[in-house]
Amino acid sequence: MTDLVIHPIGEGALSGSVPVPSDKSIGHRALLFSALCNGKSRISGFSFSADNVSTADALRAMGVRIETTGKTELTVEGVGLYGLRAPDKPLDCGNSGTTMRLITGILAAQSFPSTLIGDHSLTKRPMMRIVGPLRSRGARIDGQPHPKREGDITAPLQIHGLGEGKYLGPIEYESPVSSAQIKSAILLSGLFAHGATHFKEPTLSRDHTERMLSALGVPLRTVGTMVELDPGGWNGQMPALDMEIVGDASAAAFLLVAAQIVPGSRVVTRSVGTNPTRTGLLEVLRDMGAGLSIESLGERAGEPIADIHSWTEPLRATTIGGERVARAIDEIPIACALAVRASGTTVIRDAEELRVKESDRIATMATVLRSFGVTCEELPDGLRIEGKEGPLEAADIDSHGDHRIAMTSAILGLLGRAPTRVRDAGCITTSFPKFVATLRGLGATIDVVDEAP
Ligand SMILES: O=C(O)C1=C[C@@H](OP(=O)(O)O)[C@@H](O)[C@H](O)C1
Ligand SMILES: C=C(OP(=O)(O)O)C(=O)O
């Protein structure tokens, strides 16, 4: 078990210009799609987050050759749409919901059976949201009854395979939640289907799948929150990829917020993806009066990128809700840290999806905030948080194995009146392996304490 001890920054400030890890969402897709391509793909700027490694390992277990060719470079030998091999043991998706849900979309269409497993947290996450629609187009998938959500199932998932010569059918599916994982699972299954895939969601979730599949020549059309994939007449071949992955906006968020709440700070995060389906936090920062400037660097591999400058300015409370939530879904925990330093009461609504992430992020954040002496109220779909002046209480935080909770707590710890301990912080490697080194480079003092299990 790894703990972090965060020392108060006191009169100090954060300063510097830093890279951030590669975008985790795009990393998963780059691996999955290049495995299904014809030819050898090259992926660079890859930062080996534990979640992305889970996707790579699952593909390797199905016969895909993935080689590390440099510190941040990989090659993937695509096997084509129909070249995956039956795995000889359960595929371990670790902590990664994206791995499990997207791979299920692919495996649902295979002739061979497979089983997907995950860690303690992943084994509590809801899976009917993908299994239901996949079953309705002919997939045969079973899971375990969900311990808390009636009618839902969770991992392990048994995917029975379709048998030789059988195919998935068409689907028209309107998802009750905005979710790129559901959308991507259904679209991936649609690559193999006989018949079209129509998917609609309430508000637009991240669109990396649509961008990448379109670039690979897959016949896909989007209109607003609707996407349609009709493989009729398509030859089923995707050319190999050669791409450099943009920096992760969700990782940059921790540093941009840190620069707002540690007085006198100025931080630049370099080459960060600014896809409009991911910029909810930047909009929140603007609404709150943050010091922020976005220097566009054009596009990389079909995704807009920018250097983002963040410097401390007085913050005012805001309301975060509606369609913006989907565009900031992984940034809500760190947005709570902004609320702590804003004048007034910040309200977060429409974020019930946070209850089914790596932890129940609404409940966990309420506990974290109270441990720091912040007044907050837990709402069914969000939080009400009162701004607070002066040093925060020194806290002892249990991350619940949730990387975004661990990182948010570490940032808040900089404002403590005495050192803060963040327990079970090894999970940070899930998305931001160099988080501690990066923060130290900006001026923070953090000890890493490895406890014997
Ligand atoms: O598709 C993706 O890469 C992701 C989609 C989001 O999940 P949902 O689709 O469940 O909202 C997000 O929370 C997750 O970190 C990554
Ligand atoms: C929710 C997350 O990821 P996943 O769903 O892939 O586990 C996340 O990274 O915050």
Look up the pTM and report it: 0.98
Q: Please give the single-letter amino acid code of residue 106.
A: I
DSSP-derived secondary structure letter, 23: P
117: pLDDT confidence band, cut at 50, 70 and 90? very high
d(C-alpha 169, C-alpha 171), whole Å:
7
Note whether ipTM > 0.85 here.
Answer: yes
Question: Strand pairing partners for 70?
Answer: 73
| 3-class secondary-structure state, position 134 | helix
In this predicted model, what pLDDT tens digit does every residue of 43-60 receive, in sequence order? 999 999 999 999 999 999
Average pLDDT over residues 187-196: 98
Helix (H) or strand (E) holding 44: strand 38-44
Predicted pLDDT of residue 314 = 98
CA of 163 to the centre of ligand 2 (A): 32
Average pLDDT over residues 229-249: 97
How do strand 73-79 and strand 291-300 relate by DSSP bridges?
unpaired
Q: Nearest ligand to the C-alpha of residue 55? A: 2
Does the pLDDT of residue 452 top 90, yes or no?
no
- Residue 330 annotated to the active site: yes
Burial of 48 (0-12, 13-18, 19+ CB in 10 A): middle
Burial of 187 (0-12, 13-18, 19+ CB in 10 A): buried
Average pLDDT over residues 96-118: 98
3-state helix, strand and coil shares in percent for the chain, rounded to the nearest 5: 35, 30, 40
Residue closest to 446 by CA, chosen among 399, 411, 401: 411
In this predicted model, what pLDDT tens digit does every residue of 404-451 receive, in sequence order? 999 999 999 999 999 999 999 999 999 999 999 999 999 999 999 997
CB 122 within 8 A of CB 84: no
Evaluate the CA torsion angle 227, 229, 230, 235 in order and state its sign: positive
Name the active-site residue from 92, 152, 248, 330. Answer: 330
CB 79 within 8 A of CB 45: no
Average pLDDT over residues 183-208: 98
CA of 308 to the centre of ligand 2 (A): 23
Share of the chain above pLDDT 70, in %: 100
In this predicted model, what pLDDT tens digit does every residue of 335-357 receive, in sequence order? 999 999 999 999 999 999 999 99
Alpha carbon separation from 130 to 134, 210, 342 (Å, rounded): 6, 18, 38
Residue closest to 350 by CA, chosen among 324, 369, 331, 375: 324
| 29 Cα nearest atom in ligand 1 | 3
CA of 334 to the centre of ligand 2 (A): 14
**In b/e form, how buried is each residue of 70-101, taking b as 16+ CB within 10 angstroms?**
eebebbbbbbebeebeebeebbbbbbbbbbbb
d(C-alpha 355, C-alpha 400), whole Å:
13
Helix (H) or strand (E) holding 439: helix 435-442
Cβ of 295: how many Cβ atoms within 10 Å? 11
Average pLDDT over residues 244-268: 98
| 25 Cα nearest atom in ligand 2 | 6
d(C-alpha 180, C-alpha 182), whole Å:
6
| 129 Cα nearest atom in ligand 1 | 10
CB 370 within 8 A of CB 290: no
Contacts of 439 (CB under 8 A, 6+ apart): 14, 255, 258, 410, 446
Does the pLDDT of residue 163 top 90, yes or no?
no
Alpha carbon separation from 436 to 6, 187, 256, 363 (Å, rounded): 10, 36, 15, 25
**Protein residues whose CB sits closer than 6 Å to any atom of ligand 1:** 25, 28, 98, 179-181, 184, 205-206, 329-330, 353
CB 20 within 8 A of CB 252: yes
Mean pLDDT of the chain: 97
- Domains of the chain by start residue, with CATH: 2-22+246-450 (3.65.10.10), 24-244 (3.65.10.10)
Helix ranges restricted to H, 220-293:
249-261, 280-287
Average pLDDT over residues 108-134: 98
Q: E-assigned strands of 239-370?
A: 242-244, 266-273, 291-300, 303-311, 315-316, 319-320, 342-343, 345-348
- φ, ψ of residue 448 in degrees (nearest 5): -105, 120
Predicted pLDDT of residue 387 = 98
Predicted pLDDT of residue 453 = 63
Residue 45 backbone zone (phi > 0: left; psi -120 to 50: alpha; other: beta): left
Does the pLDDT of residue 268 top 80, yes or no?
yes
State yes or no: 357 annotated in a binding site.
yes
Predicted pLDDT of residue 247 = 98
Average pLDDT over residues 151-170: 96
Does the pLDDT of residue 210 top 90, yes or no?
yes
Does the pLDDT of residue 131 top 90, yes or no?
yes
